[in-house]
Structure 1
Amino acid sequence: MGLFKRNPFGHILFIKKWLIRILGALTHRRFRGFNELQIEGSEIIRNLPDKNVLFISNHQTYFADVVSMFHVFNASLSNRDDSIKNISYLWNPKLNIYYVAAKETMSAGLLPKILAYVGSVSIERTWRAKGEDIKRQVKMSDISNIRKALDDGWVITFPQGTTTPFKPIRKGTAHIIKQYKPVVVPIVIDGFRRSFDKKGLRIKKKNIMQTFEIKQPLEIDYENESIADIVEKIEYAIEQHPSFLKVIPQEELAIHEELNKKRKWSYKES
């Protein structure tokens, strides 16, 4: 790699590599130490093409979700099976991983700007700004940047556009899928909201069960499925369809709580 080689967004890859190494080393214990991230589906990551892959996921914190994905993706590509043990996988990270994020979030402070350099495709939200609901047109330059990122590598997006669970899927994600025809890989995460603060920067609780499930790529008929069809498919894939909202009986909650206690102690012993 040339020392000053850049990606399509003008970021110097040498700098990006070192930022991933440093930030990865600083955050590793958040997912293997203070908490123990349970991963499923690493082999799916290894079988993906190098470009035009879109990861869709539910969203629980601003930054911890994405950071965990950089860990899991690079560990999986380094032949770790459902594990981020041994941080050496970050020495030669995949540099063409991007994630879609709100421009307002990524420009609010030094740390977000550093994280943006690591791989943010920053867009202007059309439905919310400065904590208020708004309506504005989609910027074509934002769509073009997502296309540019897909042409170069992998893109992570959170199609609900918010960390609030069971909010509607934004149709923009379905339009991108229909237009650019990427391989669409669903991811379902859990435990992050309980582990971290809303931004995903501060550890709120330790020994929380965190889960990270990578699912098989979606089967999509890009030509014939409607936007509504794709939206519904996304809702089910990332387990945010309204049908997943149910009242859980108290007995079942007690069983889950007891199971989480056992997992908590097993993490401490390991």
Structure 2
Amino acid sequence: MGLFKQNPFGHYLFLKKWIIRILGGLTHRRFRGFNELKIEGSEVIRNLPDNNVLFISNHQTYFADVVAMFHVFNASLSQRDDNIKNVGYLWQPKMNIYYVAAKETMKSGILPKIMAYAGSISIERTWRDKGTDVNRQVKMSDISAIRTALNDGWVITFPQGTTTPFKPIRKGTAHIIKHYKPIVVPVVIDGFRRSFDKKGLRVKKKNILQSMEIKEPLDIDYENESIAEIVEKIEYAIEQHPSFLKVIPQDVLDAQETLNQQRRWRPDSN
């Protein structure tokens, strides 16, 4: 790799690689140490093409979700089967992984700005700005940036646009799918909300069993399926459809909590 080689967004790949290496080394124990990340679907990652892949996921923290995906995706490409043992997989990371994030979030401090250089596609939210509800048009430059990233590699997006569970899917994701026809890979995560603070920067609780399930790509009829049908397909795929939200009897909740305690990872479990 040339010292001054850049990606389509003008980021120097040499610098980006070192940012990924350093941040990866610093965050590894958050997913294999303080807590334990259970992974399913590594083989899906290894069977994907090098570009035009869109990962869709539920969202639990601002930063920890996507950091975990950088770990899992690179570990999978380095032939790890559903684990992130030995962080050496980040020595030669996949350099064309991008993630969609709110511009105001990525400008909120020095650390987010550094993380943005690792692969952020920073966009202006059309419904929220600085804690206030807004209603504005999608910027074509934001759509163009996502298209550029898909042409170059893989893109991670959180189609609800919020860490609050069971919020509606933003139609913009469905429009991107219909127009650019990427391979769409659903990812379902859990345990991050319990492990970290809302930003995903501080470890809030240790010994939590986190999980990440990478599902098979969605079967989408790009020409004939409507935006509403694609939205519904996304809701089911990332397990955020209203049907997943149901009233659960207290005795079932208590039994589930007991099971969670039994599944809780312990340092001597390896």
Interval containing the TM-score (normalised by the shorter chain): over 0.9
Whole-Å Cα distance in 2 between the matches of residues 265 and 108 of structure 1? 33
Tell me how far apart the structure 1 counterparts of residues 175 and 55 of structure 2 sit (CA, whole Å).
Answer: 15
Structure 1's 112 and 245: CA in aligned 2 closer, same or farther, altered over 3 A?
same
Aligned-pair distance for 1:70? Answer: 0.1
The match for 1:118 is 118
- Contact 2:185–2:217 (CA<8 Å) still a contact in 1? yes
Residue equivalent to 2:62 = 62
Counting only pairs closer than 5 Å after superposition, residues 105-184 of structure 1 correspond to structure 2 as: 105-184=105-184
Note if contact 1:59-1:65 (Cα within 8 Å) is conserved in structure 2: yes
Query: How far is the alpha carbon of 1:153 from its aligned partner?
Result: 0.0
Query: What letter matches 1:48 in structure 2?
Result: L
Partner in structure 2 of residue 103 of structure 1:
103
- For normalisation by structure 2, the TM-score amounts to 0.98
> In 2, are the aligned partners of 1:36 and 1:267 still within 8 Å (CA)?
no
Q: Is the counterpart of residue 91 in structure 1 residue 91 in structure 2?
A: yes
For the residue of structure 2 that corresponds to 1:228, the secondary structure is helix
User: Gapped runs of 5+ residues in structure 2?
Assistant: none
Check conservation: 2:209, 2:265, Cα contact below 8 A: no
Q: Quote the RMSD (CA, aligned, Å).
A: 0.9
What SS is found at the alignment partner of 1:187?
strand
In 2: Cα distance, 1:255 partner to 1:148 partner: 48
Q: Give 1:252 deviation, angstroms.
A: 2.1
Unaligned runs of 5+ in 1: none
Is 1:223 the equivalent of 2:226?
no
Mapped contact 1:55–1:157 kept (Cα < 8 A): yes
SS in 2 for 1:3: coil
Q: Specify the code of the residue in structure 2 equivalent to 1:237.
A: A
Other-structure match for 1:75? 75
Rounded to whole Å, the distance in 2 between the matches of 1:110 and 1:207 is 29
1:196 and 2:184 are equivalent in the alignment = no
Contact residue 175 and residue 227 of structure 1 kept, 8 A: yes
Structure 2 CA distance for aligned equivalents of residues 236 and 26 of structure 1: 34
Cα offset, 1:49, TM superposition: 0.3
Report the TM-score when normalising by structure 1.
0.98
Listed one character per residue, the Cα deviations across residues 131-190 of structure 1 (whole Å, up to 9, x for unaligned) are: 000000100000000000000000000000000000000000000000000000000000
